[in-house]
Amino acid sequence: MKSSPWDLEEMVDSLKPWEEFHCLHPERSQREYLARKKTDMPIVFRDRKQPRTIEEEELWHDKLIALAEEEVRFDPEQTALTVELDSDKPVAIAFTGDWHCGHKGTDHRALKIHNELLASTPGVYCVGMGDYAQNSKANSKPGAALYDSAFPNPDEQYHFAIHEMERLRGKWLGLITGCHDHWNFTAAGLRTMRDICAQLDTANLWHGAVITVKVGEQTYQIGAKHRYGNESNANTTNAQRWFDSDYPTEANLDVICLAHLHYCDLQKRPRKGVNKVWMRSGAYLVWEDYGQRLGGYRGQPGVPIVILYPDRKQVLPFHGTDLKEALYTLRMLRA
C-alpha cells in the first residue's frame, strides 16, 4: 500500500464517499481514508489573546466598581440643595418652566416679557421647572409636533432658550430636567442640562430636588419637580399631596411646586403642623395639536411666586397669573 504523503488531488477527493474515492485511488486503504477524514493539522496559535484569569477578573471588577463610584461622585445632578440668601429684606422664589421654545404655538413674546420682569426686579430668584425647548424627535410618538414647530431644529430651540436663561443669570437657584429635555437622553444618551447648568453656573437639580433656602434668620424647604406620579385634573393638587407624603425626604416642606400640566395652580393648607403652599407653574405653549385632540386644552402662561420673609417664618404665595402683582408687592416690601 502507498504510504507517501497525500497530494492535493487525493485530499480533495477524500471529501467524496469511500466507494468513489476507492475507484479513483485504489492504492489508498480504507483505514488511511478514514484516518484522513478524522485528522487535521493542529492549529498553532502564536499570538492569540488569552482570557483573564480568575485573579485578573477580580482585579478588573474592582476597577469597574471604582469607576462607577467615581462617575457617581462627579455626576453634577443633585436631589438636595441648600442655598443661603444673605438678606434682611424679603426675597421671592419664582418657578418658571414649560417654555417649549420653537413650537409655533408658544407665546415667545410673553416669555421674553416675563423673563425681563423677573430679571429687572431685585430680590427675585428662580427655579427652572423643565421643558425649556420643544425638542421633538422624529420617529417617536410625540414626533408629530415637528410639523407644528416654527423652528424645528433642537439646536436652535435650545439656543433660544439659553439666550433667555442668560437674561436671568445670577438669579437661578437651579434648573430641573423636564420630559422634553430628557428626550435627548432617551434618544442619544445626552444629558443636555449638564452643559446648560455649567454655562449658567447654577445647580443641576436633575428631575427634581428639595431646596433648603436660608433667608436671614429663617429656613424654608421647597420641593420642586417637573412632574410627580399620576397627575389628576379632577383634584389638581393631588400630586403635591402625594409628593408631601411619599417623596423620600425628612424635610417638612413649606412649598411644593410642580409643572407639566400647562396651567397654573395654587392651594394653601395646614398639614404636618405647617402652612403648606402647593403650586404649579404655567406654560408658554399656549396651543398645540395634542392638547386640542385631548379636549381643546390651551396652555396658561404664568410664573408662580412665593415671597419669603427673613425675620419671621411666613410664605406669601402668588398664583402664576399674578406675576406683576407679586413683583410689585416684593418691591414695596423691600422699599
Helix or strand run (H / E) with residue 249? none
Question: 146, 168, 172, 167: which is closest to 157 by C-alpha?
Answer: 146
| CATH H superfamily, domain 78-334 | Metallo-dependent phosphatases (3.60.21.10)
Across the range 118-144, mean pLDDT stands at 93
DSSP symbol at 176: -
Give the domain ranges of the chain.
Answer: 78-334
Question: Mean pLDDT over all residues of the chain?
Answer: 93
Q: Is residue 226 within 8 Å of 178, Cβ to Cβ? A: yes
**pLDDT in the model for residue 235:** 85
Least confident of 90-94, 207-211, 296-300: 296-300
All cell numbers assigned to 236: 389638581
Q: Is residue 78 within 8 Å of 209, Cβ to Cβ? A: yes
Question: 327, 301, 305: which is closest to 315 by C-alpha?
Answer: 305
Q: Where are the alpha helices (H) located in the chain, listed in sequence order?
A: 8-13, 18-24, 30-38, 54-74, 108-119, 154-167, 179-188, 192-200, 238-246, 289-295, 323-334
Question: 266, 265, 300, 324: which is closest to 98 by C-alpha?
Answer: 300
**pLDDT in the model for residue 233:** 73
Q: Is residue 334 within 8 Å of 90, Cβ to Cβ? A: yes
Give the rounded percent of residues in the chain with a pLDDT score beyond 90.
79
For residue 168, give Cα distances in angstroms to 63, 94, 121, 156, 162.
42, 11, 11, 19, 10
Across the range 57-77, mean pLDDT stands at 96
Dihedral angle over CA of 136, 140, 141, 142, nearest 10? 0
Q: Is residue 262 within 8 Å of 300, Cβ to Cβ? A: yes
**pLDDT in the model for residue 2:** 53
Looking only at the bridges linking them, the beta strands covering 203-204 and 80-85 are unpaired
**Cα(3)–Cα(28) distance, integer angstroms:** 8
Encode pLDDT of 8-63 as tens digits: 888 888 888 899 999 999 988 888 888 777 666 677 788 999 999 999 999 999 99
Encode pLDDT of 274-314 as tens digits: 999 999 999 999 998 888 888 888 899 999 999 999 999 99
